[in-house]
A and B are shown apart, each in its own frame.
Chain A
Amino acid sequence: MRAATRLAPLGLPRARADVATGSGAGGNETLVSSLFLAPALFAYGLFVLLPLLHTIWLSLFEWDGVSEQKFIGLDNYLEIVTNAQLAGAFLHSAVLILLYAGVAIGLALLVVAAISRSALGASGLYRTLLFLPQVVPTVVVGISWRWILAPEGLLNSLLDRLGLGFLTRSWLADFDTALIALGLVGAWQLYGLFMLMFIAGVQKISPSLYEAARLDGAGPVQEFFSVTLPGLRQELVLAVMLATIAAISSFDLIYTTTRGGPGTSTTVPALEVYRRAFAYADAGSAAAVGTVIAAIVLALVVLLGRVTRERRES
């Protein structure tokens, strides 16, 4: 601070321009930079980048984890398409993506539409409660919902009491309902976060836009579609991304509730990675599934990132 005040009369903007072009006092700082950067790059490279590359490499081999690796080209990838159980896992995660994103985002949007007119924020206690599902370990979430959805659980006893006893079933053990039930649990885990994200986003929209819409005689529905929704574009894209990543790698939840059952009706790619590598001794196939997961997520992020950038520019 002391130096800054002393420099002020000399004209800071010029000094700043010098530094920015690299001709100032700093010059090339490659040596210092590498000292600052090396520890992080070392840890990240060793435990993230190299394993990621090694996964791609392993996916080209048949390997049980012990004996010699046998190069088989793209066979492991071919298996993902041809093996019904593997293809099924990817289909299941597509269903989960739809439920996670659709239900959680839909619910959060509905809430925002309802409360944005009254200019309410989600502060204090609301925020504390809505964020809680993000904090609790997923194992606990799994145990809790396993109990709610059990044959003698909360949901069935509620249905009984409402006279809807004919609907009761063992939700997580039923081939027809297990996957959908898990999708709704995932949506439950996410909707509070999305609500907070959207409410924060709405508060950034200029109030004058709402006033203008009202002067034009816009009702709540019109106001939502012409002001709120466009203003939340960035948050919406992000929510889709988060829901997709959560759905495709929802290992914790599935592992602690159904473990892929009944049958193979709730398997997801992440569970297949785990099983193939550590139960079926098929590390190559596990690596191929892992690579495809990474590719899907990266492609989606790049795609969605491009969509937001184009929209923002136009």
Chain B
Amino acid sequence: MQTSTTEKLVSHLILITLSVLAVLPILGLAFAAFNGSGRPISGIEIPSLWTLENFYRAWAKGKFGQTLWNSAAIALIVVVGTTVLSALAGYAFAVLRFRGKNVIFVLFLIGLVVPGEAMIVPLYYDIREFFPFLRGNYGTIALPQIGKFLAFGVFWMRTAFAAIPSEMTEAARLDGAGSVEIFRSILLPLVRPALLTLAVLVFMWSWNDFLLPLVMLANSPRLQTAPLSLAAFSGQRLTDVVGLSAAALIVSVPIIAFYLVFQRQLVRGVLQGALQ
């Protein structure tokens, strides 16, 4: 396809403009965070004097050490739980034959689109009543999250297992291998890339989840997640723009770093997962 240089140039200009616009709000926040306090910031201002005082203040007031740790611990539990359960169930849906397969699969599809608001009220009351042992520990938030992300995970892993040519399993089966053995030694190594993508997506969803921790952890100050502590901090310090910016940066940096490391999996996962 022939293309003129002008067309290419215009295309690049449009892409640059919109790419910059996509990060400008975050960038402005980052710059503000390094500015000295006591001065209103009303624009993207590159600090004339870089200082870390806002970070010290935010860290001390916002208890971010504890909440970042909570977020990481919860996300890790949820990643392990979701990937293991999704791999097992995805294998069953893609390879094994059993009655009621389609009906059960449709049940999982429902969770793919129904937003958390439709589950939150009973979750709060029922967990208090029927799972008292979950109160005051990470399980109170990790288990509902695993359930929620399983809808996508099962769907995702079924696709991954279904993409493997059936010759591979049949050959092993005729060799006398059982379902468990086929799953563990033949198929699982082949779906490792899909599992990694799933793990990365789930980590991000868990880290950024808001409504569920807000409701479930309302009475557990020790278990608060990083986004929750940031919301609380921002409610208390509405006028402290630079301190708030520092706090927002503290909470964003881990997930942005995570994104930069795993961006291939993340972007591909979201684009593919959405299209399936």
A→B interface (CB under 8 Å): 1, 3-4, 6-7, 12, 15-16, 19-20, 22, 24-26, 28-30, 32-34, 36-37, 39-41, 43-44, 46-52, 54-55, 58, 65, 107, 111, 114-115, 117-120, 122, 125-148, 152-154, 156-158, 188, 191-193, 195-197, 200, 207, 210-211, 234-235, 238, 241-242, 245, 248-249, 251-252, 255-256, 269-270, 273-274, 277-278, 283, 286-287, 289-291, 293-294, 297-298, 301
How far does the alpha carbon of A256 sit from the alpha carbon of B251 in the complex, in Å? Answer: 15
Residue from B18, B85, B97, B252 within 8 A of A29 (CB atoms) = B97
Q: CB distance A298 to B114 under 8 Å?
A: yes
Which one of B37-45, B47-55, B191-199 contacts A?
B37-45
Number of A-B contacts (CB under 8 A): 337
Question: Cβ of B266 < 8 Å from any Cβ of A?
Answer: yes
Q: Given A154-B43, A207-B1, are A301 and B170 neighbors across the interface (CB < 8 Å)?
A: no
Q: CB distance B270 to A134 under 8 Å?
A: yes
Give the one of B21, B168, B260 with max A CB within 10 A.
B21
Q: Given A47-B143, A47-B144, A148-B25, are A40 and B256 neighbors across the interface (CB < 8 Å)?
A: no
Q: CB distance A51 to B123 under 8 Å?
A: yes
Q: CB distance A137 to B81 under 8 Å?
A: no
A33 to B: closest C-beta gap in Å: 4
Q: Considering the complex, give the chain A residue whose CB is closest to the CB of B267.
A: A131
Beyond A114-B14, A137-B210, 5 additional contacts (C-beta under 8 Å) are A37-B88, A54-B122, A125-B19, A139-B230, A147-B32
Give the one of A24, A37, A207, A273 with max B CB within 10 A.
A37
Chain A residue numbers with a CB within 8 Å of B208 are: 137-138
B166 to A: closest C-beta gap in Å: 6
Q: Considering the complex, give the chain B residue whose CB is closest to the CB of A15.
A: B170
Residue from A3, A29, A147 within 8 A of B96 (CB atoms) = A29
Chain B residue numbers with a CB within 8 Å of A16 are: 166-167, 170
How far does the alpha carbon of A43 sit from the alpha carbon of B143 in the complex, in Å? Answer: 7
Residue from A41, A142, A269 within 8 A of B89 (CB atoms) = A41
Q: Considering the complex, give the chain A residue whose CB is closest to the CB of B16.
A: A126
B→A interface (CB under 8 Å): 1, 3, 7-8, 10-12, 14-16, 18-23, 25-26, 28-29, 32, 40-44, 81, 84-86, 88-89, 91-93, 96-99, 101, 104, 107-108, 110-111, 113-126, 143-144, 146-148, 150-151, 153-154, 166-168, 170-175, 178-180, 183, 204, 207-208, 210-211, 214-215, 218, 226-227, 230-231, 234, 241, 244-245, 248, 251-252, 255-256, 259-260, 263, 266-267, 270-271, 274-275
How far does the alpha carbon of A30 sit from the alpha carbon of B92 in the complex, in Å? Answer: 10
Q: CB distance A129 to B20 under 8 Å?
A: yes
Q: CB distance B29 to A143 under 8 Å?
A: yes
B201 to A: closest C-beta gap in Å: 11
How far does the alpha carbon of A58 sit from the alpha carbon of B125 in the complex, in Å? Answer: 11
Q: CB distance B117 to A273 under 8 Å?
A: yes
Q: Given A43-B81, A140-B248, A207-B1, are A273 and B267 neighbors across the interface (CB < 8 Å)?
A: no
How far does the alpha carbon of A129 sit from the alpha carbon of B26 in the complex, in Å? Answer: 11
Q: CB distance A154 to B44 under 8 Å?
A: yes
How far does the alpha carbon of A22 sit from the alpha carbon of B170 in the complex, in Å? Answer: 12
Q: CB distance A251 to B252 under 8 Å?
A: no
Q: Given A48-B147, A148-B25, are A40 and B85 neighbors across the interface (CB < 8 Å)?
A: yes
Residue from B147, B166, B251, B263 within 8 A of A47 (CB atoms) = B147
Q: CB distance B210 to A277 under 8 Å?
A: no
Q: CB distance B26 to A137 under 8 Å?
A: no
Q: CB distance B210 to A252 under 8 Å?
A: yes
Give the one of B3, B26, B260 with max A CB within 10 A.
B26
Q: Given A130-B18, A196-B267, are A143 and B230 neighbors across the interface (CB < 8 Å)?
A: yes
Chain B residue numbers with a CB within 8 Å of A3 are: 171-172, 174-175
Residue from B1, B119, B248, B259 within 8 A of A52 (CB atoms) = B119
